[in-house]
Amino acid sequence: MSSFDVGIVGAGVHGASAAYHLASRGVRVAIFEHTTPAGGPTGRSSAICRAYYTNPFLAAAARDSIAMLRSFPELTGRDAGFRQTGFFFLHPPEDAEQVRASVATLNAAGIEVELLSVGEVAGREPGFDLEGVGIAAYEVGAGYADPHATTEGLFARAVELGAEARLGRAVTSIEPDPTGGGSIVTVDGTRTACGRVLIAAGPWTRPLALQVGADLPLTVERHIVATFRWGAADPVPAHGDLIGGYYFRPEGEHLFLAGHVHPAPRADPDGYADDVESDEIEGLARLIVRRVPRLSESETQGGWASLYDVSPDWQPVIGEIAPGIFVDAGTSGHGFKLAPALGGHVADLVMGAATDPRLADFDPFRFERGARLDAGYRDARILG
């Protein structure tokens, strides 16, 4: 039986990032993936990268991740496809006090965010109908990346640094070792002893965690992304509409994409519709055209659906769930842009190094203690 210091289950962007950081530190890592890197929800992510968070730790992780995406070629020898677009956040009046406080905190953390009145937004982007907007913010350095290129880049660099890839085989069980860590067993019967285990299996995390005695309150939701061709419409900037409840970004030169901000019905991760119905696209298009009337000239281009693994407060669950067995999941639809830098914090945790004390706030068992995180805006907790 082969053995490793750390075994990681899942090569979405979180597992790949942890593998990259651990391998960079000379840790012997094996990474187990049922499909391929980014073969799950990561590969269907809208991959918007903004550090506009109300939680200071997540804001810092996103800030540091965006810096990594910018310097990806130097770090990994590859391109993450990061493109800076800037991003408008359009809020209802009742968010004003929280937005003002948050913008000040973000700027103090080195994240350039402008606080804008409704008149200032109208002056900059006359294409918006600002009905219902009371205050806005603009994050200068926000953008989006290519989720496949990012994950594959982290994964490939980890392998170059010595990580072992076990692709195309599902992990069927994790057998805890009384001294810590455990054996990872794959569908072909192969057993691998791992001094420590990290479960980063996205929507499939809960049943794996149950095997080691941790019942985590994670649920799974199906979320759609719709794509459109600009057509005759002039492009509009990337934005999040917290009144209409959607996000929006350009996709290359000719397209834009959008999705909803609010919770969606629960789904079975092993049996859900991964395509998108025309009425779902039309519902989203109506919200967009209400905010940007000139986009009535745009043309539907289809879309897709994928899964969010959601925690009760819509913030990640990161921590030790059994001796030497850790989890990094529950990213609730906003974890892509956290992953590149968060993987370094997760590597600290797994290796027993000193961690940022704020990481403890994401303890997977916090809900039992009534210590939910109060992050995001009203029911748009996805903003974190």
Residues of this chain that interact with ligand FAD (CB under 6 A) are 9-15, 32-35, 39-42, 44-48, 170-171, 200-204, 223, 225, 259, 306-308, 329, 331, 333-337
Which residue is at the shortest CB distance from ligand FAD?
202
Q: How far is the CB of 332 from ligand FAD (least distance, A)?
A: 7
Distance CA 13, CA 37 (A): 8
Q: How far is the CB of 224 from ligand FAD (least distance, A)?
A: 7
Q: What phi, psi does 105 have (nearest 5°)? A: -65, -40
CB closer to ligand FAD, 265 vs 370: 265
Q: How far is the CB of 112 from ligand FAD (least distance, A)?
A: 19
Distance CA 78, CA 16 (A): 14
Distance CA 230, CA 241 (A): 19
Non-local (6+) Cβ contacts of 40 within 8 A are 10, 12, 34, 202, 203, 307
Q: How far is the CB of 118 from ligand FAD (least distance, A)?
A: 25
Q: How far is the CB of 87 from ligand FAD (least distance, A)?
A: 10
CB closer to ligand FAD, 272 vs 294: 272
CB closer to ligand FAD, 37 vs 195: 37
Distance CA 308, CA 222 (A): 6
**Per-residue buried b or exposed e for 315-333, using 16+ beta carbons within 10 Å of the residue's own CB:** bbbbbbbbebbbbbbbbbb
What is the 8-class DSSP label of residue 268? -
What is the 8-class DSSP label of residue 329? E
Q: How far is the CB of 137 from ligand FAD (least distance, A)?
A: 17
End-to-end CA distance of the chain: give it in Å, rounded. Answer: 42
CB closer to ligand FAD, 6 vs 47: 47
DSSP string, 269-322: TTS---S--HHHHHHHHHHHHHH-GGGGG-EEEEEEEEEEEE-TTSS-EEEEEE
CB closer to ligand FAD, 13 vs 216: 13
CB closer to ligand FAD, 142 vs 236: 142
